[in-house]
Structure 1
Amino acid sequence: MKLKRLLLFLSILNFFSLPALFAQEAKTIISGKIVTGAEQQPVEFATVMIADPIEKKPITGVTTSVDGSFNVTTTATEFYIEISFIGFETKTINDFEINDGKVALGTIDLAENATALNEIEIRAEKSKTEFKLDKRVFNVGKDLSSTGMSALEVLNNVPSVQVNIEGVISLRGSSGVQILINGKPSVLATDQGALGTITADMLESVEVITNPSAKYDAEGTSGIINIVMKKEEKKGINGSVTLNTGYPNNHSIGLSVNRRTEKFNLFSQLGYGHRTFPGINKTMNMDLMNNTTVESDGDSEKNETFYNVILGADYHLNKYNIFSLTGNFAYEFEKEYSNSNFNFLDASQTLISAWNRDEKTEATNPKYQYDFQYQKTFKNKKEHVLLFSAQGNFFGKEQSSIFDNTPISGTPNESVQQTRTDFVNATYTYKLDYTNPISDKFTLESGAQYVFSDVSNDYAVQDLEDGEWIENSDLTNIFDFDQRVLGIYSTLAYKNEEWGVKLGLRMENTEVETLLEQTDERNTKDYANLFPTIHTSYKFTEFISIQAGYSRRIFRPRMWDLNPFFNIRNNFNIRTGNPDLLPEFTDSYEITAINEFENISFNFGIYHRYTTDVIERITEFQDNVSITRPENIGTNRSTGLEFNTKYSPFESLTLNGDFNYNYFIRKGYNESTPFDFNASQWSAKLNMRWKLPAQFELELIGNYQSSYKTVQSVMADNYFGDLGLRKKLMKGKTIFNVSIKDIFATRRMESETDQTNFYLYNYHRRGRFITVGVSYGFGKGEAMEFSGQKRF
């Protein structure tokens, strides 16, 4: 009953908010599907114009969707239909019948225009953000301010997504998010540094799925973010070359080339880059029992040099069978420096001692992956598909650090330490998906996935004593982490013109084993869980629809959550893992109203999440040293509102807005200490994209994240802005970009932990980044602009 009342409330709200849109005029709905070629491939983003036959001027229009279909409404009584797409002959339709207010054009075949194929033209562009029933799609190529960015930085401009200054990704304020690449788990998606080797010009789009169906992994309590890599499909030789430079060091060069024939599609991406990330750091540890203080103030600099190579091929055995093989190799060199001055103060704030701590770190990170895929399309329907894929990922890190404490005054605090890390992560994924549209209204999906990960972290600390390096056995160990996840799912969907429902059930069995080799401590877990899902939608009009969904999700502790040996970068603020952690489970409910009109679209949603065995980082304090490790702390109930909109008041200006608010209730305790509290947080983003004269485009992005409370700390609010400017040259063949990231250098991470016996303060800030880039497109494409046709 409550759900029905909520549905009724949202529908009434939508109807009353835009009454002018429901004028009682006779409407005609024109529908059809655009295809081309012998294989009848759908044409995405073709322009369908409804025009006045006397004045020869447009009345309204629309672009085709991914499957080439379109649906457009007009109140005009006299009109003709014109269909166009770059490289194809424009088709004009004057002869059609109107039956019960509908014009059904069926399948329309566009013929190639040989002359146009040899010319460079500017075609219709994808909007930056597309609102779809089951997800939102952020088209990276249209984000001007992403010039020179890594994939990790691009995510921060995506609606509902936040990335803090340390690289932690959250969705709707929750960090329990699953990151996929091309719809599959990837080691590149689980390591923050690895995401840094993927540059913005290698990305096609980012998909945000807040309430996934059973077809997707159950991993990720707040949802899924899927990063889609570019892969060209236009015939002939096509490609682009991109060059970026910036301050502080942000230099990269990328080359993308593909060749498509009737049988083969060969594609490649090559990238090289060098980046510098400066930082300012401040910390304070106060022992409130003894009234002593340790404070530090310093700066840091991280330098990354990376190489990235992607090679792949699609083989079209025939129109029903396609084989794909892709390989990716990346190599990264890291050099990191930090220098901080430490002061130790007594109860009267008198300086007792001071020293300087200097760090030098070097690391190499090899990464590679392969991805084999076979797709079979059955002859009865193109939606009847069997898809098999096998993927292997490897990520390694060899890192060494040296820490030198030099006395400045007072009591000597002189020591020299060095650390060594040998880290190896191998992950293999096997996946089988079967989709069968058993009738026009019913679709069955089923499949299975097996993912196993083998991770080892060899960590050693040595102290310099009398000129010799002596291993510190208390801080040295090898930690092994093995995880196996088998998932089996099935979904059944029903859909008619107005209403649809999709039911799903997924079963996952998880086996986890960890081992501390020095002490031979083993921790084994084996558990199976069911993850039901239900999604439903109802279309009130061509413009307004509503959808609701439920899913059960899981967050499994990862290697760094479990590993009890972390680092000693600041030996007064130590972070460790907890091998006894249990997984989080979340029941997620969501209802969303979707409104799409000619120049405005917006989503308004209400969601609720109930999470058990919540993982939180708990800090203990002794002798001015804070030790933070994750613990399972009770339950969390989070209720939120989300609003997304895209508005084009006129053709040259587009505004995208994103607002999220959630209120949460925490219940729990740790070692008899209660952690019950209520709090809220909110975030907002506003993007303005303005097409200026002379083919200039300007983009401004503003971000704000409110302060919020955790079980022990308060995180400060955060606000920053980005700017991008683009100029098209040579009829769109060359594009010049300028971006300024964090224009006012306000982005920071700041927290306070005020407890009964201790107080902690942490501050970290990075400055402004300015990048200039140019890209050149050759073949049949434009610079940095890729085909909207279907990818296999």
Structure 2
Amino acid sequence: MKTQILIAAIFFSGLTFAQEKKSDTLKTKSIEGVTLTKQVFKKQSDRFVYDVAASPVTKGNTTFDILKQTPLLSSTDDKTLKIAGKNNALIYINGRKSNMDADSLVQFLKNTPAENIQKIEVITVPGSEFQVESSDGIINIVLKKKMSDGLSGNMRMSNSQNKFNGSNASFSANYRKDKLGISANLSGGENIQGQSYVLRNGNDLSSNESVGDINDPNKNLGGYLNIDYQLNDNSNLALSWNTWANKSYNSTVDLFNTTRSYDKKNDDYVMNYTRSRNKEDARSYNNSVNLNYELKTDSLGSKLNINAAYLNYKRFQFTDNRTILSDVYGNDIRLGRQTFQDLPQIINNFSGTVDYNKKFKNDFTVSVGGNYNKTKTNNDTKNNTLDYAYDKFGNLQGITNTPTPNHFVYNENIYGVYLTLEKKFNDKFSGKVGARYEITNSVGTSDNAATPDLQRIERKYNNLLPYVSFNYAINDKNNISYAFSSRMRRPSFWEINPVRNILTEDNYTQNNPFVKASSTYNQELTYMFNSSYFLILNHSLYKDVITQVPLQRDILKKRLDEMGNPVLDENNQPIMDPHKQLRYIRTNFGDKQEMSAMLGIQKTFFKQYLTANFNIGLQHNINNGSLSVDPTSGDVFPTYENKIRSTSIVIQTNNTIRLDKKKTWFLGVNYFYVDKQQIELGMLKDLMSLDLSLKKNWNDWTFAVNVSDVFRTNVVEIEDYQDNGNYNYVKNDQFRRGVTVSITYNFGNQKVKKVRDIEGASDAIKSRTR
């Protein structure tokens, strides 16, 4: 509550700037009118460029809203951004990678105004100079550059109603005076992320079903401070600080579980019922600081960039997982098992980068640089499992305590160098070739390892990652380009921390310290016509894919009567029945190929009353993975295989309709459809969503209403059937249908020049935190 009051006070304090802005109203409107004609989507060298400029389409929206409507970009979960034919996309600002971890970045984009965006660049196959992993592409947000001194800012408040209500607010300010520039942002909010689950797994002899809800309250507060000082005409010094905090207390899981096992003696099924009631308290903090020095070495644009950064990430998580014996109607009988987990994670990283970009008069550019990352993660996990025993009258007889602590420390050092050569041969043809060489040394140690193999895990590997691309402008209307890139993906730090995250007593995820880096080989052919129509052909080969694999097996458990007491046989011994245990193991899972063909258009119609962005394509997946042993324990399971091919259709369209001549009313109609496709966990059923929005611009104010997932069709369903008779089914509804109402206000001198956004030296590490 204190956070909301603070941000609201800051928001309304901005009203004092309203009078300062009235004199500039007509001037601002005329600029917007001119810029609107420049909204084109075009291919430039190694990237696609979407020029959103000062369009009223961006006014009042968040940066995340605009990114979702950019050609080739999409988001099916409203959390991650994807580029067509790629996995997740990395966010860059003015050519520099964003200085936040993955979770913080999403909240930051949803609380950052889009008014200051000049254009959005989509780099589907990044060059060797970029520190990216796997098949990740890059989204580079280029901000407007304004020339005069002064103060400007933006304030936004929004309220969303999905299953629960949530609110967000943000305050941004930019100040420039002579050689000094300062930018700052404060944003925060609170919501409850609600989900419902249906989980089924097993075979004809034994099976599990869990049905229920997960509710996750979140409070967020964070922001940044950038200070940029021009030392002289050729050099700049900049200091940036990013911070984000999340508090998620009283997250709850409430699942009703039904287990079925076959009794050969009586030729019938035995049913048991339990409830999983879990409670979690978690909080995380992310702080990073970066010092940057930039030196221009000649008049052609050659420059030297030096960065030094420090990152500190902390997450504290405490869970109370309870298995409660129940009857067929879900009524509680008594507590059967309780597991307490204390799961802290602390990450410290020091990073440094040096980049030199040398330009020559004959349109030839040489880029060379290097990076160093030193990271230590500390995971001091504590687990205590309590098993409760009762007599036949239901009286507690005793409690068995099984502690399983594990202190896992991971140290990693990465050394990298790159060389890129770029040449513009003439007005039509340009090319780029480069390579990155990386050395990775890591050691993971465990004080209380379950097996000797887990006590010390040492990795050393070197990788040479080549890159080549060319771009040929056939004429003014036709352009063709090709790119090839080799990349690797290191496991995220949480993936290698050998802990279990319990959902139910027999269903949990298992992280894996033996996960090794995977490799990816990407190639892409692009044809563009008239800066409006495009065709993209893409092929990606993944080696040693890092993913989650569902392994299930039968384990013997005591048969219980309706009162939760063990059922005894004629020899007065407990009767043991088979029960299905399901582990989602994080591991390397074979190879995979993805091929896609995307046809699209980005164009305005009817004298710019309609701006349409439409993509349609085919994606073909070839999976080749097999696993039968839990690599963390050596437990043997029936083999899980995924050697299935699938072809699916993908459709996305984003449309903005101007409703009046004055360009103050806008209607948005956005839709996506993803056909069913085979993924690592099984067959993902089709997804779709229709989103509508209505926006009104009034002087420096913007009022907007957004309705997402109108028909509530964006619900995840995955099903898998194995040749050995095992099946697995997951249905996850995150209640994405909802209404968001927002108010945005711009104040101050809108000509303020933006502070330079600097790539932090630790940015390559941040994406591997939570």
Name the TM tier (shorter chain): 0.7 to 0.9
Q: What do residues 304-360 of structure 1 show as CA deviations (whole Å, max 9, x unaligned)?
A: 111112111111122311111111122111131221212223448867232222222
Structure 1 residues 117, 761: CA separation in 2 closer, same or farther (over 3 Å shift)?
Answer: closer
Q: 2:602 aligns with which of 646, 649, 657?
A: 646
Aligned 1:37-52 pairs, distance under 5 A:
none
Structure 1 residues 357, 670: CA separation in 2 closer, same or farther (over 3 Å shift)?
Answer: closer
Matched, 1:536 2:464: no
Q: What do residues 438-497 of structure 1 show as CA deviations (whole Å, max 9, x unaligned)?
A: 1232111111122232222222222346799976444x3222222222211111111121
Q: What do residues 243-295 of structure 1 show as CA deviations (whole Å, max 9, x unaligned)?
A: 1112132211111111111211111111121122211111112233xx22221
Looking at structure 2, the residues matched to 343 and 156 of structure 1 have their Cα atoms a distance apart, in angstroms, of 40
**Is the CA contact 1:145–1:724 (under 8 Å) kept in the aligned structure 2?**
no
The two structures, once aligned, show a CA RMSD in angstroms of: 3.4
Looking at structure 2, the residues matched to 354 and 638 of structure 1 have their Cα atoms a distance apart, in angstroms, of 42
Counterpart of 2:107 in structure 1 is 196
Looking at structure 1, the residues matched to 277 and 383 of structure 2 have their Cα atoms a distance apart, in angstroms, of 16
Looking at structure 1, the residues matched to 314 and 290 of structure 2 have their Cα atoms a distance apart, in angstroms, of 19
Q: 1:344 aligns with which of 234, 259, 268?
A: 259
Counterpart of 1:369 in structure 2 is 288
Structure 1 residues 513, 161: CA separation in 2 closer, same or farther (over 3 Å shift)?
Answer: farther
**Is the CA contact 2:534–2:599 (under 8 Å) kept in the aligned structure 1?**
yes
Matched, 1:628 2:539: no
Matched, 1:272 2:188: yes
Q: CA deviation at 1:221?
A: 2.6
Q: Secondary structure at the match of 2:438?
A: strand
Counterpart of 2:557 in structure 1 is none
Matched, 1:242 2:156: yes
**Is the CA contact 1:176–1:220 (under 8 Å) kept in the aligned structure 2?**
no
Q: CA deviation at 1:145?
A: 9.9
Structure 1 residues 431, 233: CA separation in 2 closer, same or farther (over 3 Å shift)?
Answer: farther
Looking at structure 2, the residues matched to 275 and 754 of structure 1 have their Cα atoms a distance apart, in angstroms, of 37
Looking at structure 2, the residues matched to 570 and 143 of structure 1 have their Cα atoms a distance apart, in angstroms, of 49
Structure 1 residues 416, 252: CA separation in 2 closer, same or farther (over 3 Å shift)?
Answer: same
Matched, 1:359 2:327: no
Q: What do residues 86-137 of structure 1 show as CA deviations (whole Å, max 9, x unaligned)?
A: xxxxxxxxxxxxxxxxxxxxxxxxxxxx986996545235677743422235
Looking at structure 2, the residues matched to 145 and 403 of structure 1 have their Cα atoms a distance apart, in angstroms, of 45
Q: 1:742 aligns with which of 709, 732, 735?
A: 709
Query: Which shows bigger deviation, 623-632 or 175-184?
Result: 175-184
Looking at structure 2, the residues matched to 615 and 585 of structure 1 have their Cα atoms a distance apart, in angstroms, of 10
**Is the CA contact 1:278–1:766 (under 8 Å) kept in the aligned structure 2?**
yes
Aligned 1:428-507 pairs, distance under 5 A:
428-464=350-386, 472-474=402-404, 476-495=405-424, 496-507=426-437
Counterpart of 2:326 in structure 1 is 408
Structure 1 residues 533, 403: CA separation in 2 closer, same or farther (over 3 Å shift)?
Answer: same
Q: CA deviation at 1:577?
A: 2.2
Structure 1 residues 160, 393: CA separation in 2 closer, same or farther (over 3 Å shift)?
Answer: farther
Task: Specify the code of the residue in structure 1 equivalent to 2:549.
Answer: I
Q: CA deviation at 1:687?
A: 0.2
Q: CA deviation at 1:751?
A: 0.8
Looking at structure 1, the residues matched to 140 and 602 of structure 2 have their Cα atoms a distance apart, in angstroms, of 21
Counterpart of 1:570 in structure 2 is 504
Structure 1 residues 459, 472: CA separation in 2 closer, same or farther (over 3 Å shift)?
Answer: farther
Matched, 1:754 2:721: yes
* Matched residues, number: 665
Q: Secondary structure at the match of 2:495?
A: helix
TM-score when scaled to structure 2? 0.79
Looking at structure 2, the residues matched to 387 and 528 of structure 1 have their Cα atoms a distance apart, in angstroms, of 25
Q: Secondary structure at the match of 1:196?
A: helix
Aligned 1:270-419 pairs, distance under 5 A:
270-288=186-204, 291-335=205-249, 336-347=251-262, 352-381=271-300, 383-409=301-327, 414-419=336-341
Aligned 1:558-637 pairs, distance under 5 A:
558-597=492-531, 601-623=532-554, 624-637=580-593
Structure 1 residues 454, 158: CA separation in 2 closer, same or farther (over 3 Å shift)?
Answer: farther
Structure 1 residues 687, 719: CA separation in 2 closer, same or farther (over 3 Å shift)?
Answer: same
Aligned 1:539-554 pairs, distance under 5 A:
539-554=473-488
**Is the CA contact 2:549–2:589 (under 8 Å) kept in the aligned structure 1?**
no
Matched, 1:684 2:651: yes
Looking at structure 2, the residues matched to 142 and 458 of structure 1 have their Cα atoms a distance apart, in angstroms, of 51
Identity score, percent: 20
Q: 2:31 aligns with which of 103, 123, 127?
A: 123
Q: Which has the higher contact order (CA 8 A, sep 6+)?
A: 2
Counterpart of 2:687 in structure 1 is 718
Query: Which shows bigger deviation, 195-204 or 568-577?
Result: 195-204
Q: What do residues 166-218 of structure 1 show as CA deviations (whole Å, max 9, x unaligned)?
A: 956654455476566765666733x4366335534256576432211111125
Looking at structure 1, the residues matched to 437 and 211 of structure 2 have their Cα atoms a distance apart, in angstroms, of 50
Looking at structure 2, the residues matched to 778 and 179 of structure 1 have their Cα atoms a distance apart, in angstroms, of 27
Structure 1 residues 670, 346: CA separation in 2 closer, same or farther (over 3 Å shift)?
Answer: closer
Q: CA deviation at 1:395?
A: 1.7
Looking at structure 2, the residues matched to 674 and 299 of structure 1 have their Cα atoms a distance apart, in angstroms, of 30
**Is the CA contact 2:618–2:648 (under 8 Å) kept in the aligned structure 1?**
yes
Q: Secondary structure at the match of 2:112?
A: helix
Looking at structure 2, the residues matched to 744 and 141 of structure 1 have their Cα atoms a distance apart, in angstroms, of 32
User: Could you list the runs of 5+ residues in structure 1 that have no partner in the other structure?
Assistant: 1-113
Counterpart of 1:763 in structure 2 is 731
Looking at structure 1, the residues matched to 60 and 734 of structure 2 have their Cα atoms a distance apart, in angstroms, of 18
Q: CA deviation at 1:521?
A: 1.3
Looking at structure 2, the residues matched to 171 and 246 of structure 1 have their Cα atoms a distance apart, in angstroms, of 27
Counterpart of 1:79 in structure 2 is none
**Is the CA contact 2:111–2:187 (under 8 Å) kept in the aligned structure 1?**
no
Looking at structure 2, the residues matched to 781 and 263 of structure 1 have their Cα atoms a distance apart, in angstroms, of 18
Counterpart of 1:666 in structure 2 is 623
Q: What do residues 516-552 of structure 1 show as CA deviations (whole Å, max 9, x unaligned)?
A: 2212611111111111111111111122211111111
Structure 1 residues 534, 481: CA separation in 2 closer, same or farther (over 3 Å shift)?
Answer: same
Counterpart of 2:447 in structure 1 is 517
Structure 1 residues 497, 471: CA separation in 2 closer, same or farther (over 3 Å shift)?
Answer: farther
Structure 1 residues 187, 493: CA separation in 2 closer, same or farther (over 3 Å shift)?
Answer: closer
Counterpart of 1:51 in structure 2 is none
Q: Secondary structure at the match of 1:561?
A: coil
Looking at structure 2, the residues matched to 460 and 630 of structure 1 have their Cα atoms a distance apart, in angstroms, of 20
Looking at structure 2, the residues matched to 791 and 178 of structure 1 have their Cα atoms a distance apart, in angstroms, of 15
Looking at structure 2, the residues matched to 705 and 621 of structure 1 have their Cα atoms a distance apart, in angstroms, of 29
**Is the CA contact 1:389–1:431 (under 8 Å) kept in the aligned structure 2?**
yes
Structure 1 residues 742, 118: CA separation in 2 closer, same or farther (over 3 Å shift)?
Answer: closer
Task: Specify the code of the residue in structure 1 equivalent to 2:720.
Answer: T
**Is the CA contact 1:505–1:532 (under 8 Å) kept in the aligned structure 2?**
yes
Matched, 1:422 2:391: no
Looking at structure 2, the residues matched to 182 and 483 of structure 1 have their Cα atoms a distance apart, in angstroms, of 29
**Is the CA contact 2:642–2:682 (under 8 Å) kept in the aligned structure 1?**
no
Looking at structure 2, the residues matched to 208 and 609 of structure 1 have their Cα atoms a distance apart, in angstroms, of 18
Structure 1 residues 285, 668: CA separation in 2 closer, same or farther (over 3 Å shift)?
Answer: closer
